[in-house]
Chains A and B, each alone.
Chain A
């Protein structure tokens, strides 16, 4: 071999080495030797959120003390689910043994064929509060009688108000509007009295959030976006027209929704935290985000129930998140995972419900969320919350006093939301929007989506 070859070979080898030297991910050992089990669990709070992370780590240590044979490997992710990488992990089977998903993504997870059926493992014994668990929430992870997931949190939408702007407009912040007619009236009053480009009411119309809120408002009308059998769109009717017409009038006739539209999740909350929005539809977690991310003040925000036609709505949209178990988990791992979830997510006074500690270390305590349970268990949690509250609990009084049953999201939620975004965006950005035509087009598209996925 002369030097010529050697050098060319070196280049080629470098290429191969480059390709071969790629660290493959170490295969996770299903380490359950001699009764010891190791499980990886998603959604440890990120390093940037020291408070929550320390609490999580303390819980892991305490849990491992209780169960010396179980080792929890925390997977730190923020946000807990990032759609693209979530999709990737499902394709590649690289998710954690106990992995996190939004309620909306249940279909996707089941379609991937990556999940274990945990029905036989979930009993009153393994999950002590099981009988009190809210059925709607638990059933998010149930298909054909089989249970695939356990809930982590849930939310129900109501009407978030800016108390400061209410006062400035001469409205009573302890009496948020409970009908849409009142919402429109109050929004107009806020815009006119406060001025400075404040929108009395704001709503989403981008990033699939528009369709999400349209759905919530449809439930509030006593309607639905998809028929009960999940085969046809069900919004091209008086309810759908009422929603879009109302928004269009608030935007263009009353001029009470401000000029900024096409808002996606963060856009609206940024405006709200800068004191530019009087009211919007949302769950308590949006106020948490306003405080933690966008530096708004808890004291400025309060909540009322989801408004309806004649009083608080008959139903509101709810959702949440959950933990699934990977198909390759051993029975021992599933049992360990359930024990951990029962401890961390589903026990009053422990884990996420350890409100005494929460108050001590400066977490947010006192928001009416999640409401995973009913009956005695929920009462216990409510009491703990009230005793350790760090936020003005009274601001949520109206929301708590009018509990509105929640309905889960439709099948293929994201695809439907995407279609409905267009209608929402049209009534909020186009003075000459034709509500009837928008609904007819959206209906045709949603029917296509439903037909295609059968």
Chain B
């Protein structure tokens, strides 16, 4: 990318400026590597230490007696496979529900504007400022005993999936995007006799790829990072997502096994990210919230 930025290119070509540029760049590279890779190095090597060594002061830079057995123990104690499977199940379901329900709702609010639509929109956007955590108690009681149906959703994926739909921010993003879709496009479809749903499917969605990408990333990240809600709603150890499982584990294994477990838990996403970093980065950039 060679666009003009804050510092002018002419200045960069002055004598001395070049050197300054390289020095700053070098310093930033070193600093970032230390700050962002350092902890990961320390986590991976920490997982090889004995329990005594992890509690040792000052900490050692390299394990005195590296013991890969810690990783084996951590692997079996963590049941990582099950925790990951749970997390994937919750994230995939939350993503599917949000893509279907939130897109449908945003489209209806943007283009069909049925009666009372603005009231619904206002009520949805109103919850934007209200973090889910504030409603944790009544939400918990609701999931425990669903009104009318009297089902108990605790320890089922529904307890994660359905509340995830109430993502006002995603609806807001989608609606803003649909608002910007030129009316002429839709009109063209309507002339061909396409109804609103077909228009959504064959005209609006294909051009909404970037925003759908962003919404998807948000949806998955929310499930991935959520802690308090799954801690309460999926209390059964066999149903916990990874984030909560790690915490449970921290309560009953020695420190060195725990550090190995932290490294194991971090590995899948870090590896996936490094492999697909180009696509992920461009996806994030494409849907960046341009005004």
| A and B touching (Cβ–Cβ under 8 A) | yes
Question: Interface on A for B, CB 8 Å cutoff?
Answer: 2-4, 7-8, 11, 14-15, 18-20, 22-25, 46, 78, 82, 84-85, 88, 91-92, 94, 196-197, 265-266, 270-271, 273-276, 289, 293-295
Cross-interface CB contact of B100 among A11, A293, A295, cutoff 8 Å: A11
Name the distance in Å between B134's Cβ and chain A's nearest Cβ.
17
* B141 close to A8 (CB less than 8 A): no
Chain B, range 125-164, C-beta contacts under 8 Å to A: 140-141, 144-146, 149-154, 156, 158, 162
Chain B, range 152-207, C-beta contacts under 8 Å to A: 152-154, 156, 158, 162, 195-198
On chain B, the residues within 8 Å of A23 by CB distance are: 151, 156
On chain A, the residues within 8 Å of B232 by CB distance are: 84-85, 88
Name the distance in Å between B148's Cβ and chain A's nearest Cβ.
9
Bound together, the chains give a CA A357 to CA B104 distance in angstroms of 62
* B195 close to A88 (CB less than 8 A): no
Cross-interface CB contact of B152 among A84, A92, A265, cutoff 8 Å: A92
Name the distance in Å between A408's Cβ and chain B's nearest Cβ.
25
On chain B, the residues within 8 Å of A274 by CB distance are: 51-52, 54-55, 254-255
Bound together, the chains give a CA A164 to CA B35 distance in angstroms of 39
* B152 close to A94 (CB less than 8 A): yes
Q: Which 10 A-B pairs have the closest CB atoms?
A: A4-B195, A85-B235, A274-B55, A293-B252, A24-B151, A197-B57, A22-B151, A266-B251, A274-B51, A294-B254
Name the distance in Å between A436's Cβ and chain B's nearest Cβ.
34
On chain A, the residues within 8 Å of B151 by CB distance are: 22-25
Question: Interface on B for A, CB 8 Å cutoff?
Answer: 51-52, 54-57, 97, 100-101, 104, 140-141, 144-146, 149-154, 156, 158, 162, 195-198, 231-232, 235-237, 250-255, 257
Bound together, the chains give a CA A110 to CA B162 distance in angstroms of 33
* B235 close to A270 (CB less than 8 A): no
- 16 pairs from A and B in contact (CB 8 Å cutoff): A2-B195, A3-B198, A4-B195, A20-B149, A84-B231, A91-B141, A196-B57, A197-B55, A265-B251, A266-B252, A273-B51, A274-B52, A274-B54, A293-B254, A294-B253, A295-B51
Bound together, the chains give a CA A3 to CA B255 distance in angstroms of 61
* B144 close to A197 (CB less than 8 A): no
Given contacts A18-B162, A274-B52, whether A24 and B152 have CB atoms under 8 Å apart is yes
Bound together, the chains give a CA A94 to CA B150 distance in angstroms of 12
* A88 close to B253 (CB less than 8 A): no
Given contacts A11-B104, A15-B101, A294-B253, whether A276 and B55 have CB atoms under 8 Å apart is yes
Cross-interface CB contact of A4 among B56, B97, B197, B231, cutoff 8 Å: B197
Bound together, the chains give a CA A2 to CA B193 distance in angstroms of 12
On chain A, the residues within 8 Å of B251 by CB distance are: 265-266
Bound together, the chains give a CA A210 to CA B171 distance in angstroms of 45
> Taking each of A8, A78, A266, A270, which has the highest tally of chain B beta carbons within 10 Å of its own beta carbon?
A270
Cross-interface CB contact of A7 among B197, B236, B250, cutoff 8 Å: B197
Bound together, the chains give a CA A66 to CA B251 distance in angstroms of 39
* A270 close to B149 (CB less than 8 A): no
On chain A, the residues within 8 Å of B156 by CB distance are: 22-23
Given contacts A2-B195, A92-B152, A94-B152, whether A84 and B144 have CB atoms under 8 Å apart is no
